[in-house]
Chain A
Amino acid sequence: MTQATAQPELTPPSVRDERVGRGSTLARLFARPEMGALTGAIVIYIFFFAIAPPFRSASSFSTVLYFSSTYGLMATPIALLMIGGEFDLSAGVAVTTSALTASLFSYEFTLNMWVGVMVALVVSLAVGFLNGWIVIRTGIPSFLVTLGTFFMLQGLNLALTQTITNQVASPDISSLQGFSSAQKVFASSFTIGGVNFKISIIYWIVFVLIATWILLRTNIGNWIFSVGGSAPSARAVGVPVAKMKIGLFMAVGLMAWFAGMNVLFQFNTIQSGQGVGNEFVYIIAAVVGGCLLTGGYGSAVGAAIGAFIFGMTNQGIVLAGWNPDWFTFFEGALLLGAILLNTFIRRRAEAAK
């Protein structure tokens, strides 16, 4: 005979099961890729604020922002490319190529400046396409392919400038029609509260916002992460890997054009040897900002913070009046410290999840 036994009431345990919990807001915040970089930036800012009185003034800050923006404009697409799993070592000289193309084309044919600007855009996009296409077609690591295009562009910059103008710097283009309007667009400055700010800072922030929106809110952003995380898996689920990678390289080309125009209209003449070495600063800014060298992880905001850290370190040392012979030593030490802090915070945040 069965006896109906009263089933004990099943009540949920009073302690929340952490496997389905959301985790504290702070832990989630610190797990974001850019938080380590932000912490590093705050530490370095406080450091220089304390030891360098001129660092505190608004006009110094404007100089730091300008210096950071000249690297930040390129660090943003390089970060996107690194999240997508590729490197571009030709980015530094690509900026100079773009500026030289615009300047020499308009000058030699005595055309309106804007024609040169458009031709430079086409050339920069073509260089980006070439980089991406060679990487896709041959399967050679992008590090090596872009190393080759880096040397080629460096040589072309020097050789073509010398052949066309018989000089090592581009000629004075300030008397060409369209120069003043182009200068207003690409390299003007504005005053806030008596302090002069250059417009490249605004453009830098706008491009970072656009890149962040693309990464976090669009399909393309998902595809970038998946292509960088594992290209075969991405291809298996239907992501157009080849088009994505070529598109990322062309995005680097597009920003190289913009950065080139900014430099051209700021300084009027371009030295043909400029830009060598900058490609490593862009990669450093992206890595300090949380991008992994292996791809699939990172953020555009992080790269912007990385460029800002580089700018603060570089200019802060000058403003602090430190011995200039020790300059590069301190720069390297501070950058290493920033990267270590970044890694430490990310590991702590991931362990706490």
Chain B
Amino acid sequence: MSRSRNKALAAALIAIFAVVLAACSSTGGKKATEQASAPSAGKANTPHYTIAMITHAQPGDTFWDIIRAGASAAAAKDNITLKYSNNDDPTQQATLIQDAINSKVSGIAVTDPDPQAICPTIKKAVAAGIPVVMFNAGVSNWQQCGGMEYFGQDESIAGLAAGKRLAAAGAKHVLCVLQAQGQVQLEARCAGVKQGLGSEGTMTKLYVNGTDNSAMLSSMSSKLTQDKSIDAVITLGAPVALVAIQAIQQASSQAKLYTFDTNAAEIAKIKSGAVQWAVDQQPYLQGYESVDSLWLYLTNGNVLGGGQTVLTGPAFIDASNVAKVAQYAERGTR
């Protein structure tokens, strides 16, 4: 009978609905999270501009959420429309830059992890009369590429500082975990760590697939099992550090964990002691300043930095100052 079948269907739907309603969680979830918004500061009355931000973000890397948060905050304040795009393949990133040139945007903010592939397109943008500001990657040769300003961290200096601090902590064999191959800023960090360690210790590199958690867990765990002399693991990204915690546990290793860059979950791990310290390059500041400096140039012809890099790091976040940073990290801006 179709009537009894309809009744049965209706009863089933009501039952499912009731179960779902009754299944609300009393802990955790979105309700529990404080929805504090990023700092906002009114809106400028300058003309409207469109700025394209093109990065080499790997899909799923939370580091770039923080950069975007900064860029969006600046765009909201400066009456700017922000067009964000990313691709971790350098040739495809160059194509995205070309798309921005063809769309005749007012300004371009770009990262340069592979100068050979990306510099030529940046020069084309400058030749087309579009001001270009660079940030985060490509610190050694941004002037030759035609960039106006550069916001970021000198990765060699950051690596050197990290290496010295590792040596001071007594690390003898450091494992440097790179989540992508062929990116100059990641290579510079590991090279800096090696230099900072000097004669106090040795550094070994391990390449993992930053987009696959299971593969990262297995590779790091295998490496730590293979080489029992590793007493320090330094990762170059927050998601990798979070997986490294599990890998160290799985390999029953005594190695201590350090990292570059942070996210909210990782700040909690610094608080709990699972991660010793993190090198912070203030990605929110990088994103914010890239957009804001273009606005200053477009509205008032200002250029920041005097042809030199404007440094946003390194700063160390460890147990002594993590409490202050934690409140900002939870809302996704540190």
Task: Give residues in A with beta carbon < 8 Å to B.
Answer: 52, 54, 57, 59-60, 63-64, 66-67, 70, 106-115, 158, 166-169, 171-179, 196, 263, 266-267, 269-276, 278, 311, 314-315, 318-319, 321, 324-325, 327
Residues of chain A within 8 A (CB-CB) of B250 are: 59, 63, 196
Is B23 close to A, CB under 8 A? yes
Separation of A63 and B216 alpha carbons in the complex (Å)? 11
| Cross-interface CB contact of A110 among B29, B205, B215, cutoff 8 Å | B29
Is there an interface contact between B225 and A57, defined as CB atoms closer than 8 Å? Answer: yes
Q: Indicate whether A318 sits within 8 Å of B28 (C-beta atoms), given known contacts A111-B20, A167-B332.
A: no
Residues of chain B within 8 A (CB-CB) of A54 are: 222, 225-227
Residues of chain B within 8 A (CB-CB) of A113 are: 25
Is there an interface contact between B214 and A107, defined as CB atoms closer than 8 Å? Answer: no
Query: Which of B55-63, B101-109, B161-169 lines the interface with chain A?
Result: B55-63
Separation of A179 and B242 alpha carbons in the complex (Å)? 18
Separation of A115 and B19 alpha carbons in the complex (Å)? 9
Is there an interface contact between B28 and A63, defined as CB atoms closer than 8 Å? Answer: no
Chain A's closest residue to B228 (CB) is A54
Task: Give residues in B with beta carbon < 8 Å to A.
Answer: 19-20, 23-33, 57-62, 64-65, 69, 181, 205-207, 211-215, 217-219, 221-223, 225-227, 239, 242-243, 246, 250-252, 264-265, 332
Is there an interface contact between B207 and A327, defined as CB atoms closer than 8 Å? Answer: yes
Chain A's closest residue to B60 (CB) is A271
Q: How far is the CB of A123 from chain B (nearest CB, A)?
A: 15
Residues of chain A within 8 A (CB-CB) of B60 are: 168-169, 270-274
Main secondary structure on chain B at its contact with chain A? helix
Is there an interface contact between A321 and B226, defined as CB atoms closer than 8 Å? Answer: yes
Q: Give the A-B contact count at a CB cut-off of 8 A.
A: 161
Separation of A278 and B225 alpha carbons in the complex (Å)? 25
Q: How far is the CB of A116 from chain B (nearest CB, A)?
A: 9
| Cross-interface CB contact of B28 among A175, A311, A319, cutoff 8 Å | A175
Is there an interface contact between A66 and B218, defined as CB atoms closer than 8 Å? Answer: yes
Is there an interface contact between A168 and B213, defined as CB atoms closer than 8 Å? Answer: no
Is there an interface contact between A168 and B61, defined as CB atoms closer than 8 Å? Answer: yes
Is there an interface contact between B64 and A168, defined as CB atoms closer than 8 Å? Answer: yes
Separation of A273 and B217 alpha carbons in the complex (Å)? 17
Q: How far is the CB of A112 from chain B (nearest CB, A)?
A: 4
Query: In the complex, which of the residues A114, A158, A266, A267 has the most CB atoms of chain B within 10 Å of its own CB atom?
Result: A267
Is there an interface contact between B25 and A110, defined as CB atoms closer than 8 Å? Answer: yes
Chain A to chain B: the 7 pairs with minimum beta-carbon distance, closest first: A273-B59, A271-B60, A175-B28, A110-B29, A67-B218, A112-B23, A54-B226
Q: How far is the CB of A201 from chain B (nearest CB, A)?
A: 12
Residues of chain A within 8 A (CB-CB) of B65 are: 166-169
Is there an interface contact between B59 and A112, defined as CB atoms closer than 8 Å? Answer: no
Is there an interface contact between B32 and A63, defined as CB atoms closer than 8 Å? Answer: no
Residues of chain B within 8 A (CB-CB) of A110 are: 24-25, 28-32
Chain B's closest residue to A194 (CB) is B252
| Cross-interface CB contact of A271 among B24, B29, B32, B61, cutoff 8 Å | B61
Query: In the complex, which of the residues A52, A115, A266 has the most CB atoms of chain B within 10 Å of its own CB atom?
Result: A115
Residues of chain A within 8 A (CB-CB) of B62 are: 167-169, 271
Is there an interface contact between A111 and B25, defined as CB atoms closer than 8 Å? Answer: yes
Is there an interface contact between A177 and B213, defined as CB atoms closer than 8 Å? Answer: no
Separation of A196 and B251 alpha carbons in the complex (Å)? 9
Chain A's closest residue to B219 (CB) is A318
Separation of A174 and B265 alpha carbons in the complex (Å)? 11
Residues of chain B within 8 A (CB-CB) of A106 are: 25, 29
Separation of A175 and B242 alpha carbons in the complex (Å)? 17
Chain B's closest residue to A161 (CB) is B60
Contacts A66-B214, A169-B62, A263-B213 given; 11 further ones with Cβ under 8 A?
A: A52-B226, A109-B30, A168-B61, A175-B32, A176-B27, A176-B28, A272-B60, A273-B60, A274-B212, A319-B225, A321-B226
Residues of chain A within 8 A (CB-CB) of B222 are: 54, 60, 63-64, 315, 318-319
Q: How far is the CB of A46 from chain B (nearest CB, A)?
A: 18
A sample of 9 cross-chain residue pairs with beta-carbon separation below 8 angstroms, ordered by A number, consists of A52-B226, A54-B225, A57-B225, A109-B29, A166-B69, A271-B60, A273-B58, A274-B213, A324-B207
Separation of A275 and B211 alpha carbons in the complex (Å)? 8
Separation of A273 and B62 alpha carbons in the complex (Å)? 11
| Cross-interface CB contact of A176 among B29, B59, B217, cutoff 8 Å | B29
Residues of chain B within 8 A (CB-CB) of A158 are: 59
Residues of chain B within 8 A (CB-CB) of A167 are: 62, 65, 332
Is there an interface contact between B265 and A269, defined as CB atoms closer than 8 Å? Answer: yes
